[in-house]
Amino acid sequence: MRALLPYIKRFRSQWFMMFIGLFLSVTTLMAGIGLLSLSGWFLSAAAVAGLTVATAQMFNYFTPAGGVRFLSIVRTASRYGERLATHEATFSLLTDLRCWVWNKLMPLSAKNLQGIRRGDLLNRLVADIDTLDHLYLRLLTPLLASLLMLIGLYFFVSWFDAELAVILCSMLLAVWLLLPTVFYFLGRKPGVAQLETKRQLRVQLLEYLQGQAELTLFGAQGVYRQRLNAAESLMIASQSRMNLVTSLSQACLIFCHGFAVFVMLYMAAAGVGESIPPGPKLAMIVFMTMATIEMMMPLAGAFQHLSACSSAAARLNQVVEQTPDVTYAAESQLKISKGHIELSNIDFGYDVAHPVLHKLSLTILPGAKVALLGQTGCGKSSLLSLITREWLPQNGLVKLDGRDASAYSEQALRDSMSVVSQRVYLFSGTLRENLAIALEDFSRKDDDKLIAVLQEVGLSALLQGDKPLDNWIGEGGRQLSGGELRRIGVARVLLRDAPLLLLDEPTEGLDKKTEREILDLLFDFAAEKTVLMISHRLTAMTRMDTIHLMEQGSIRCSGDHQQLLQADPYYASLHQKLA
């Protein structure tokens, strides 16, 4: 239950619309119960009045009939208004909740999210937040409305007979308290199992769809489909168990309500207040008790919504309650302009048991061109992630322009770096939209600049039609080749004027001719900038001021191209082999 407190506090932003929804819900219940009660009294009183001609002529048919019509109109209008108000409050709360969760999620680093699968994270952002809409719409509002109606019902029935009011409201209050509590404990495990099996099915389905190419190529579709079918069977089984508990709760509610009607019929038959025999008031009390089923119906499903909301809130809290591992200076005015990088005694590992970097120190002067070479797993990309503050070292300092990297705001840090990573992501949109993200203030006046850059990186073939920048490139750039994806990544860098240029295998997958063209283009662009390049290949090593050879998380040796050819046999053999 405590897991729900942060989300209940978010309700304050929509308190007015929530109050309107609650007021209209109570009004609807009052009109519904009043309509059936008045109808029962009216029919009985009319029947009694019709026993003699004198009473039939004296009976006022018009006022009760007008009351019935009035309550019918009020019930219809208030029900419509209640649907509008509660759903408006719910959708506004969901919007506020999604923004709040997203703002909590965005500062989290890769370390914070290290143990969460992407499909699981997507499930929390979508399904778990959707589950929380039950908290107001199907849990709090119906329960509060029925409780308020119960209080009003006591005072109304007490006007006629205080004893009957105590009996009726005591039975209804017992049902209101006991039924959700008992079935909450009975349905808690099936409810959690239902959410968990749905989550597992969504995660496996997402992985199955995303991995279709690999599964087809390796003939592994059958195995993964069996896992998907097993997850679906578990979900159906959990739903069956939950449906059984739900059906039992509804049966108990109907039984308790029928018992209440029987008790009130028996008690009211002896007289209602001073009316002995009770006459039409008996019908009014019995019909009123029958009408209370509308206010008690939400109790049957309250336990299910409560367990689902609690489980969803607990899963979301695992994300939103985390303290960001990487923090930035909030209002720092510092800027990175020189591109000076200094790493001192860096120890780093993705977990403590498996260190990646050991006491590594590295200094890159402003405007220097530096390469990191080494076998896969030696820590090159990890070093780059420390400079970009995607991860933090366990020990040591990362300094930029002579200051600790934590002294800069996130905006200042991002403005200072241009990165070409191994994986270039393209959004489902046009060429213009995918290039404009590299420009701080983009306008249509920059179209000529975008076209010039595309031509410069050898993508003139994409500039087809009257409006070439409006060409759709598909989700993830599926319509483009791997080389074209790389070139667009390079084009983004050329559009961004940052003092630091970080290259992580920028020409991986390209032929040697294209590789030389791209690297020449990058180095000409970064003539006055600091360049740090990670590579397995030795192309453009002659243009490097310093080359560092890494081995098992440390720098084994350093020097320029000629020095390493003479001093390091491994580098010389590698150069001879690749050349």
Distance CA 46, CA 405 (A): 86
Distance CA 199, CA 128 (A): 9
For the cut 80, the answer to whether the pLDDT of residue 119 exceeds it is: no
> Among residues of the chain, what percentage have pLDDT more than 90?
25
pLDDT score for 170: 94
User: Domains of the chain (ranges plus CATH)?
Assistant: 2-320 (1.20.1560.10), 341-578 (3.40.50.300)
Task: Read off the pLDDT band of 63 (50, 70, 90).
Answer: confident
Predicted confidence (pLDDT) per residue in 183-234, tens digit? 888 888 888 888 888 888 888 888 888 888 888 888 888 888 999 999 999 9
pLDDT score for 171: 94
Pick from 408, 426, 413, 503: nearest CA to 462: 426
**Cis peptide preceding 366, ω within 30 of 0:** no
Mean pLDDT of 99-119: 83
Crossing angle (nearest 10°) for helices 15-49 and 141-160: 40
pLDDT score for 467: 82
Predicted confidence (pLDDT) per residue in 327-373, tens digit? 888 777 788 888 899 999 999 988 877 888 988 999 999 999 999 98
Would you give the DSSP letter of residue 529? S
pLDDT score for 275: 65
pLDDT score for 108: 85
For the cut 80, the answer to whether the pLDDT of residue 563 exceeds it is: yes
Stretch among 191-195, 273-277, 300-304 having the lowest mean pLDDT: 273-277
For the cut 90, the answer to whether the pLDDT of residue 173 exceeds it is: yes
Fill in the amino acid letter for 53: V
pLDDT score for 1: 65
pLDDT score for 578: 65
Predicted confidence (pLDDT) per residue in 73-88, tens digit? 999 999 999 999 999 9
Mean pLDDT of 152-164: 90
**Placement of tokens 């995303």 in the chain:** 210
Task: Read off the pLDDT band of 552 (50, 70, 90).
Answer: confident
When the pLDDT of each residue in the chain is averaged and rounded to a whole number, the result is 86
Mean pLDDT of 53-68: 81
Predicted confidence (pLDDT) per residue in 414-429, tens digit? 888 988 887 788 888 8
Mean pLDDT of 233-242: 91
Predicted confidence (pLDDT) per residue in 25-42, tens digit? 999 999 999 999 988 888
For the cut 90, the answer to whether the pLDDT of residue 150 exceeds it is: yes
Distance CA 173, CA 192 (A): 28
CA dihedral of 182, 184, 187, 192, whole degrees rounded to 10: -160
Mean pLDDT of 287-291: 92
User: Of 5-9, 17-21, 487-491, which has the strongest mean pLDDT?
Assistant: 17-21
For the cut 60, the answer to whether the pLDDT of residue 413 exceeds it is: yes
**Placement of tokens 């309107």 in the chain:** 20
